[in-house]
C-alpha cells in the first residue's frame, strides 16, 4: 500500500563479550550440554541464564552470587522434602520456581501458617521479613528454584550438598 512502511524482524544472534562463568548462554545452544561447577561469583559483574543454572543445580543450596546487599542462591529440593520451617527477621526473600511443583506456607507464627498456596514452574514467591515460611516439594521430581535474599542470608561461597548439611551449618553459624 502506498505510504505504508514495512517493518521486518530478523533474529540475529548476538554474542555478549561480558558474560561470565561456565553457565549456558541462550545464544549458544551447545552450552546447554555443559555442566556447570557451582561457585559464588559475588562482588563481580556476572551474567547467567538463571533458569538453566537452577535446573542444572543438584545441591540443596548453592550461593551463586553474594554481594554486600543482595544474595542469589540455587536450590534443589528432593521429592517430598521441604526447605525447612524458617524465619528471616531482617531479610526479605524472593523465590522463583523453575521446574517442579510445591506447596508454600507462611504466617506470623510457626504454629500459625495461615497463608497457603500451591506453586508451579514460573511462579514467584515473596516472603516479607519476619514471616515464618516453608516450601514443600509435592511433585515427583526435584523442585528446582532460585532464591534472592536482601541483604545476604548465607556466608559467601556457601554450598550445602544436602538439607542435613545446611541444617547443621545453620545451627553451627546461627545465621538463620
8 A C-beta contact, residue 62 and residue 143 = no
- Domain 50-175 -> CATH class: mainly beta
Average pLDDT over residues 159-176: 66
| 103-122 residue pLDDT tens | 999 999 999 999 999 999 99
Average pLDDT over residues 111-137: 98
| 33-89 residue pLDDT tens | 455 567 888 888 999 999 999 999 898 889 899 999 999 989 999 999 999 999 999
Segments making up each domain of the chain, as ranges: 50-175
Backbone angles phi, psi at 49, to 5 degrees: -80, 95
Strand partners, 28: 25
Strand order in the sheet with 159-160: 124-127, 92-99, 143-150, 71-77, 61-66, 159-160
pLDDT for 42: 85
Whole-angstrom distance, CA of residue 156 vs CA of residue 70: 11
Q: Between 130 and 9, where is the model more confident?
A: 130
pLDDT for 68: 93
Q: How many helices (H) and strands (E) does the chain have?
A: 2, 9
Give the mean pLDDT of the chain. 81
Amino acid at each position: 500500500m502506498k505510504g505504508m512502511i514495512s517493518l521486518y524482524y530478523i533474529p540475529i544472534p548476538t554474542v555478549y563479550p561480558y558474560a561470565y562463568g561456565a553457565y549456558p548462554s541462550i545464544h549458544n545452544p551447545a552450552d546447554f550440554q555443559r555442566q556447570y561447577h557451582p561457585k559464588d561469583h559475588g562482588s563481580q559483574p556476572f551474567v547467567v541464564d538463571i533458569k538453566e543454572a537452577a535446573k542444572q543445580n543438584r545441591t540443596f543450596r548453592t550461593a551463586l552470587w553474594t554481594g554486600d546487599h543482595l544474595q542469589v542462591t540455587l536450590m534443589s529440593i528432593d521429592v517430598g522434602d521441604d526447605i525447612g520451617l524458617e524465619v528471616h527477621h531482617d531479610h526479605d526473600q524472593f523465590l522463583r520456581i523453575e521446574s517442579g511443583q510445591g506447596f508454600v506456607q507462611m504466617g506470623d507464627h510457626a504454629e500459625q501458617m495461615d497463608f497457603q498456596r500451591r506453586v508451579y514452574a514460573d511462579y514467584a514467591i515473596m516472603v516479607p521479613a519476619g514471616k515464618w515460611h516453608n516450601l514443600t516439594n509435592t511433585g515427583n521430581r526435584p523442585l528446582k528454584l532460585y532464591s534472592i535474599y536482601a541483604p545476604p542470608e548465607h556466608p559467601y561461597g556457601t554450598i550445602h550438598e544436602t538439607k542435613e548439611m545446611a541444617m547443621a551449618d545453620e545451627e553451627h553459624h546461627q545465621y538463620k
